[in-house]
Amino acid sequence: MTREEDGAARLAPAGEEAIEKGARILREGGLVAFPTETVYGLGADATSAEAVAKIFSAKGRPSFNPLITHVADLGAARREAELPPAALRLADAFWPGPLTLVAPRAAGGSVCDLARAGLASVALRAPSAPVARALILAAGRPIAAPSANRSGHVSPVTAAHVLDDLGESVDLVIDGGRAERGVESTIVSFLDEKPRLLRPGALAREALEEVLGAPLEGEGGEATIVAPGMTASHYAPRARLRLDASALREGEAGLDFGGRLGASEGPRPALDLSPNANLEEAAANLFLYLRRLDALGATAVAVAPIPSRGLGETINDRLRRAAAPK
Ligand code: TXA
Ligand code: MG
């Protein structure tokens, strides 16, 4: 088989057949990549250390970095974690959806040690994407799934991205088109006295704070994160990024926002995250465009300033990591 044929054999369009096949592979301890509303996940049976070990090896991910476990609903989450009232309020408001809750694991919880990297806590999320929900329900168990990229690379928002990064090591890739939100879930920890933002994500801090009725601890991204995966260089394309650029320099490609770079003198930038300066649209395009710039052979990229409100916090977090020295 050529590399392309091999990739095609592992690829199945979303639908009943793919869900059934995927669920069977998961129950047998294999790896299935599937679309969520945030990014594509690389799934394995969260209750099996043997299955979860394959995730770490496929991604080249250090095993001290714990995984997010995906569940169908709050009932399943409560079997795995001790969720305090504030966590229940957030789940009630935002699940299913792009929110991950970190809480002490429940006695009798089924998520294996390896998925939790040996921690006494567990990260849980109930995704809203219909394919993800159907797969979790059909598998009949919680599914551990980090983003389906090589460790340190840009997260995948299409099935093709998954095959590019992990082609040979995944048993099935379910193609559900482009992941709608385009950036990972927002992670909130309930391990301290007050809820703490561990990772800014597809759900804006402001929306969480409104439900909590108080500001969230944690600077979101800048803070030292208890759990890694939040190491400086992450979400990284090959190209070198120059952030907060006001104009393109010689030899640079551009990643624009709201036409700011385009309005300056000199060559026009290639890609605009959102010509109308809409932060949701910019977040959805971010990883797609970072991969596209690599595919275009860009070696240096000037990135327009992004406002820090709403999803701007998430976009700036990912851009800082993408720009960090490798
Ligand atoms: O949108 C998403 O969240 C995607 C999709 C596939 O659901 N998943 C994802 O997973 O981004 P991953 O493994 O790439 O990111 C997991 C993050 C890591 O930064 C990890 O350190 C943190 O969650 N995490 C997991 N368990 C934790 C725990 N017990 N305490 C603190 N952080 C934890
Ligand atoms: Mg990731």
Whether 266 and 123 map to the same domain: the answer is no
Q: How far apart are CA 319 and CA 235, in angstroms?
A: 8
CATH number at residue 133: 3.90.870.10
Specify the pLDDT at position 223.
41
Whether 201 and 284 map to the same domain: the answer is no
- Asked whether residue 227 is domain-assigned, the answer is no
The predicted model gives 232-239 an average pLDDT of 81
CATH number at residue 255: 3.40.50.11030
Whether 52 and 126 map to the same domain: the answer is yes
Between 16 and 261, name the one with better pLDDT.
Answer: 16
Burial of 17 (0-12, 13-18, 19+ CB in 10 A): exposed
Token duo for residue 195: 């809820």
**pLDDT class for 2, splitting at 50, 70, 90?**
low
Specify the pLDDT at position 236.
87
Whether 196 and 248 map to the same domain: the answer is no
Q: How far apart are CA 215 and CA 251, in angstroms?
A: 43
Whether 177 and 261 map to the same domain: the answer is no
- Asked whether residue 229 is domain-assigned, the answer is no
- Asked whether residue 14 is domain-assigned, the answer is yes
Question: Which atom number of ligand 1 is nearest to the Cα of residue 127?
Answer: 7
Cβ contact 39:145 at 8 Å: no
Specify the pLDDT at position 261.
87
The torsion angles phi and psi of 298, rounded to 5 degrees, stand at: -65, 135
Specify the pLDDT at position 114.
97
What does the angle CA 155 – CA 156 – CA 158 come to, to the nearest 5 degrees? 165
Per-residue three-class SS string for 152-192: CECCCCCHHHHHHHHHHHCCEEEECCCCCCCCCCEEEECCC
Closest C-alpha residue for ligand 1 atom 7: 41
Whether 78 and 203 map to the same domain: the answer is yes
Percent of the residues in the chain that have a pLDDT greater than 70, as a whole number: 91
Token duo for residue 175: 């193609």
Output the average pLDDT for the chain. Answer: 92
The torsion angles phi and psi of 57, rounded to 5 degrees, stand at: -75, -40
Identity of the residue numbered 302: A
Q: How far apart are CA 82 and CA 106, in angstroms?
A: 5
- Asked whether residue 219 is domain-assigned, the answer is no
Whether 253 and 313 map to the same domain: the answer is yes
Specify the pLDDT at position 268.
64
Between 160 and 236, name the one with better pLDDT.
Answer: 160
Residue 120, number of CB atoms within 10 A of its CB: 8
What residues make up the domain containing 268?
A: 240-323
**pLDDT class for 7, splitting at 50, 70, 90?**
low
| 17-66 pLDDT tens trace | 999 999 999 999 999 999 999 999 999 999 999 999 999 999 999 999 99
Residue that terminates a domain, selected from 167, 194, 212:
212
Specify the pLDDT at position 325.
81
Whether 153 and 205 map to the same domain: the answer is yes
The residue with tokens 């995984």 is 67
| 184-225 pLDDT tens trace | 999 999 999 999 999 999 999 999 999 999 999 887 543 444
pLDDT at 323 over 90: yes
Whether 105 and 194 map to the same domain: the answer is yes
Cβ contact 210:204 at 8 Å: no
Percent of the residues in the chain that have a pLDDT greater than 90, as a whole number: 83
The torsion angles phi and psi of 43, rounded to 5 degrees, stand at: -95, 145
pLDDT at 168 over 90: no
Output the CA 123–ligand 1 centroid distance in Å. 7
What's the domain count of the chain?
2
Specify the pLDDT at position 225.
43
Whether 159 and 284 map to the same domain: the answer is no
The predicted model gives 77-106 an average pLDDT of 98
The closest of 263, 60, 257, 21 to 148, measured between CA atoms, is 60
From 36, 64, 68, 154, the mutation candidate for ligand 1 (largest count of ligand atoms within 8 A of CB) is 68
Output the CA 52–ligand 1 centroid distance in Å. 14
Whether 206 and 259 map to the same domain: the answer is no
Specify the pLDDT at position 192.
94
Specify the pLDDT at position 235.
82
- Asked whether residue 235 is domain-assigned, the answer is no
Q: How far apart are CA 128 and CA 175, in angstroms?
A: 16
The predicted model gives 118-126 an average pLDDT of 98
- Asked whether residue 221 is domain-assigned, the answer is no
Q: What share of the chain is helix, strand, coil (3-state, %, to 5)?
A: 30, 20, 50
- Asked whether residue 61 is domain-assigned, the answer is yes
Whether 18 and 136 map to the same domain: the answer is yes
Residue 199, number of CB atoms within 10 A of its CB: 25
The closest of 65, 39, 40 to 52, measured between CA atoms, is 65
Q: Is the pTM of this model over 0.95?
A: no
The closest of 15, 2, 5 to 176, measured between CA atoms, is 15
| 275-294 pLDDT tens trace | 999 999 999 999 999 999 99
Residue that terminates a domain, selected from 193, 212, 231:
212
- Asked whether residue 217 is domain-assigned, the answer is no
List all residues whose CB is within 6 A of at least one atom of ligand 1. Answer: 36, 38-39, 41, 65-68, 100, 102, 116, 119, 121-123, 125, 145-147, 184-185, 187, 198-199, 226-230
Residue that terminates a domain, selected from 175, 193, 212:
212
